[in-house]
Amino acid sequence: MELKTPKQQGRSSLASPPPVLLAPAKPFGFFVCFSRRYGLGKFGYRSRQGMGQCLGLVQIDQSNVAIKETFGKFSGVLEPGCHCLPWCFGQQIAGYLSLRVKQLDVRCDTKTKDNVFVTVVASVQYRALADKACDAFYKLSNTKGQIQSYVFDVIRATVPKLNLDDAFEQKNDIAKAVEDELEKAMSTYGYEIVQTLIIDIEPDVHVKRAMNEINAAARLRVAANEKAEAEKILQIKKAEGEAESKYLAGVGVARQRQAIVDGLRDSVLAFSENVPGTSAKDIMDMVLVTQYFDTMKEIGANSKSSSVFIPHGPGAVRDVAAQIRDGLLQANAQQ
């Protein structure tokens, strides 16, 4: 506001009235309408786009295209760069379209062939085609909703044909089916499906817990079988060791007896040669008496043995010798 002093009004300062406030002049109506129409704001500065449209210049950023309309009708696609767009001829920017790759994650609840409810998470990567920018801008109002509907349709038609284990194994086949269907449908609207991935298959929490328990039980069964096989191998090796030990012990006993027999034979021959008039029977009786007394000595020396009653007397040795001799004769007779 403008303030005039009394001196400027040509009056004395002693008798001057209070200052007079004068309101500024209002802008022209044309400038107000012009600035409001093209976004210049109150003081003529709002944004770069507003100023550019006011001057007839438009900037398109990289990886984007602009849709140009003339009096509301599509008239072309503007590539990245600077373009002259005279507003006085009815030309304007209807909107911008990004050509970058976008990603949409879709969660779909469905049921498998073995009646297990799962949540399938699909990731769709798509982008608008520059040569079909008009279709991508005008034909679809909700691109994400359209893609989501096709993903739901394909997954709910494919997964119910598979068991839960097959669904995990055939994730790539499910993703390929979704991608083919989306490519066929979205190409009409000016979009390209870059790639489709099935990033997760989530069964119900109770089913997941049951699957973990089944897996744990199977692993425990395998562990039990392995443990039993190990114990079996130990028992077999132990039995083989005992058999080998007994075989070697038998070989040792046989060799021991053979040595005893050879020693007795040599003793009998030497005794009969050195003592004339003795027969082989007399020598064997003497050997039996010697072994008999050795046996009695061992029984008496072993304190842990049970009580053994053996007939002992002058005729006991004769009876033992007779029994041994009779047993040998009977064995030879049976052969």
* Each residue's pLDDT tens digit, 168-213: 899 999 999 999 999 999 988 999 999 999 999 988 888 888 888 8
Q: Which pLDDT score is estimated for 84?
A: 87
Least confident span in 1-10, 72-81, 278-287: 1-10
Question: What is the arithmetic mean of pLDDT over 316-334?
Answer: 66
Instruction: Say which range, 139-143, 217-221, 235-239, 290-294, has the weakest mean pLDDT.
Output: 290-294
How sure is the predictor about 1, in pLDDT bands with cuts at 50, 70 and 90?
very low
Question: Does pLDDT of 103 surpass 90?
Answer: yes
- In order of their start, the domains of the chain are 24-55 (no CATH), 56-98 (no CATH), 102-203 (3.30.479.30)
Average of per-residue pLDDT across 253-261: 83
Cβ neighbours, 10 Å, residue 200: 14
Give yes or no for residue 74 having a pLDDT over 50. Answer: yes
Cα separation values, 244 from 237, 239, 240, 241, 250, Å: 10, 8, 6, 5, 10
d(CA 189, CA 142): 11
pLDDT at position 35 is 38
Q: Is the pLDDT higher at 276 or at 246?
A: 246
pTM value > 0.75: no
Higher pLDDT, 32 or 48: 48
Whole-angstrom Cα distance, residue 333 to residue 322? 16
Mean pLDDT along residues 115-144: 91
Please check the confidence at residue 6 and state whether its pLDDT lies above 60.
no
Over 50: is that where the pLDDT of 45 sits? no
The whole-number pLDDT of residue 152 equals 94
Instruction: Check pLDDT > 70 for residue 124.
Output: yes
Reduced to 3 states (helix: H, G, I; strand: E, B; else coil), residue 23 is coil
299-to-223, 256, 279, 292, 294 alpha-carbon distances in Å:
53, 21, 31, 11, 9
pLDDT at 140: 86
Is it the case that residue 36 has pLDDT exceeding 70? no
- Asked whether the predicted pLDDT for residue 47 surpasses 60, the reply is no
Confidence bin at 32 (pLDDT 50/70/90):
very low
CA dist 218 to 66, 203, 211, 224, 225, Å? Answer: 61, 20, 10, 10, 11
Region 132-149 average pLDDT: 90
User: So what's the pLDDT on residue 314?
Assistant: 57
Averaged pLDDT score across all residues of the chain: 77
pLDDT given for residue 57 in this prediction: 83
The answer to whether the beta carbons of residues 171 and 201 sit under 8 Å apart is: yes
Tens-place pLDDT, residues 216-231: 898 899 999 999 999 9
125-129 mean pLDDT: 93
Percent of the chain at pLDDT > 70 equals 72
Q: Tell me what pLDDT residue 329 has.
A: 64
Whether the pLDDT of residue 136 is over 70: the answer is yes
Give the 3-state secondary structure of residue 154: helix
CA–CA dist 189, 192 (Å, integer): 9
Q: Work out the average pLDDT over 152-169.
A: 91
36-50, 107-121, 187-201, 263-277 — which is least confidently predicted?
36-50
The answer to whether residues 118 and 164 touch, using CB atoms and an 8 Å cutoff, is yes
